[in-house]
Structure 1
Amino acid sequence: MAMLVFGTQIHIVTFIFILLEICMLIFQLAYYSFRPQDKNRIRYLILLFLMLFYNITGGLFPDPGINISIPIQIMTAYGSGFLMASYFPFYFYKAFDLSSLRWHALFGVPLFLMLPYAVFFVIVYAINGNLKADIKLGMIVPLIYALVLLWIMFNSIREKYKRNRNKNEYLEELAMYSAITPWASLTFFGLVEESQLIEVLCTNTGIIAISILFLGKSIKREREEYGKLQELGRIGSQREEFEEQCKFYRLTNREIQIVLLVREGLTYKEISEKLFIAGKTVDNHVQNIYEKTEVNNKVALIQKLHIYP
């Protein structure tokens, strides 16, 4: 006996996936509101929303108990699957910088997936009402194209990671293969009638793999940004300390310039050429700096003034 919820056509497993995806959508929307410049996150949110829409419509429709005409329900249910299948290549093209998918993401998918849907599942079905015949005709091109595009996506991923592959990148590559493989099942289930349980398990494994990839990349990016902020804070603190030391020892602007060039390892001759002053003038400035700071060599000067790197 099918395990349905709330007297609808939705299987309990589908319902669990819907709840999980709603929670993920709310969490990611909240995070996106703090960082609206994060384009990868908005792409992931669109993907998550389309998967949620696909699960809801695929689980609910067709149902005579819903106050929507059966043809509209069927068009919507199939349309959600085609939308999901169409967005997948675009998401991978943008999120993972797979440039070889550009043509397919922008032109191939609308031509070979969305156009057949509009023709056979909307126009022709609205005219003849013969769903079985329309499925057989309407799914021929999308199914063939899905298999071809799946092969192209596999090759694009392999090309991206074949150079300088390390352990982490190898795991990421495997996760990407796991994410795109269920994508082809979206068109397959449009042609073959299977139980909702099998369909939802196959199609949702892809979104799980993509979510793992997305979260992994997000965590890595956040750590890098945090490290950069810490480094900038450290440099800023050292710069302030250096400026305070220069004020304390009453170094002039020219002397501060020379101190910084000494820190870079330039010789007195190179400093004179860089500042367009005589070598003897540089030597005099250095001696004045030594006297003011009470040191007698470059290393002691650098240590005393806490010169930032």
Structure 2
Amino acid sequence: MSTVSTRAPAPDRPSPPEPPAPRRRRREQQWPAYVFLTPWMLGAAVLTLVPMAVSLYLSFTDYNLFDPPHWVGLRNYTEMLTEDPRFWRSVGTTLLYVVIAVPLKLGLALGAAMLLRNLGRGRAFYRSAFYAPSLLGASMSIALVWRALFNDGGTVSEVLGSIGINTGSWVGDPDLAVYVVVLLTVWQFGAPMVIFLAGLQQISPELYEAAALDGAGRWRQFVSVTVPMLSPVVFFNLVLEMIQSFQVFTPAFAVSGGEGGPADSTMFYTLYLYERGFTASHMGYAAAMAWLLLIAIGVITLILFRTSRSWVFYADEEGR
């Protein structure tokens, strides 16, 4: 005879709550980051993106800071490229400055970094002393002192004259004035020097020991070990210095007295942009110059990145 179970059925257990969707969970994890980023995003929008959009619009207008902008289309660009000889002189002066100043500055910075790497006592002092001009050199006061040093009767002309080299005033000589700005820039080699020094300290001493065992001298070690291992740092400094050099303004303004003289020999691109925008009140023309400079820097930077594949070596690239 079969027995019938009188036990009551077990109550249904509540199912565990489903985990939140991955997208929702990511949003919950990311909102604190957006809160902290909000001031930066507002600053970027208000202080960078909006002014850039306004300047782009003004580059297609005739605007003199007092009357409402008048739309002229591409007239500012065509006038700049085909009817303005001073524009092309400013381009030539800036290119000459970049071609001379950037290699000299990077070469001096690398040489100083290599000397400091092998220096024992006093390295911190010399590193600070070499870095100080990078902090001070961008100021107008230092640029004015530099102008006085190279002016007629200044220290440089007096010292050179005492050894029979009579150059007179560098500032007043159209053939030498641009080199006053070049030397002021090269003097500020401290910032790239610190970056080079950090890169040199990351190179393994075992590489130099292996090269020495193979019979490599100092020069061969520099060419075969230091340069390839330091090439990413060289590339980084090259891009930064190139961008900064195309935008040089304060030294050119101080050395030339704000006029780009003598004979437009120190009429750098940014100085001419300032003159057209704030002296001649052709703000639309100046905005067009600014955008053309941005495009030129972007193109040159892109070329540097493209060509870097053939000469920049990364230590871990074989494992990638």
Q: TM-score, normalised by structure 2?
A: 0.24
Q: Which has the higher contact order (CA 8 A, sep 6+)?
A: 2
Identify the structure with the greater helix proportion: 1
Structure number, greater radius of gyration? 1
Q: Normalized against structure 1, the TM-score is what?
A: 0.25
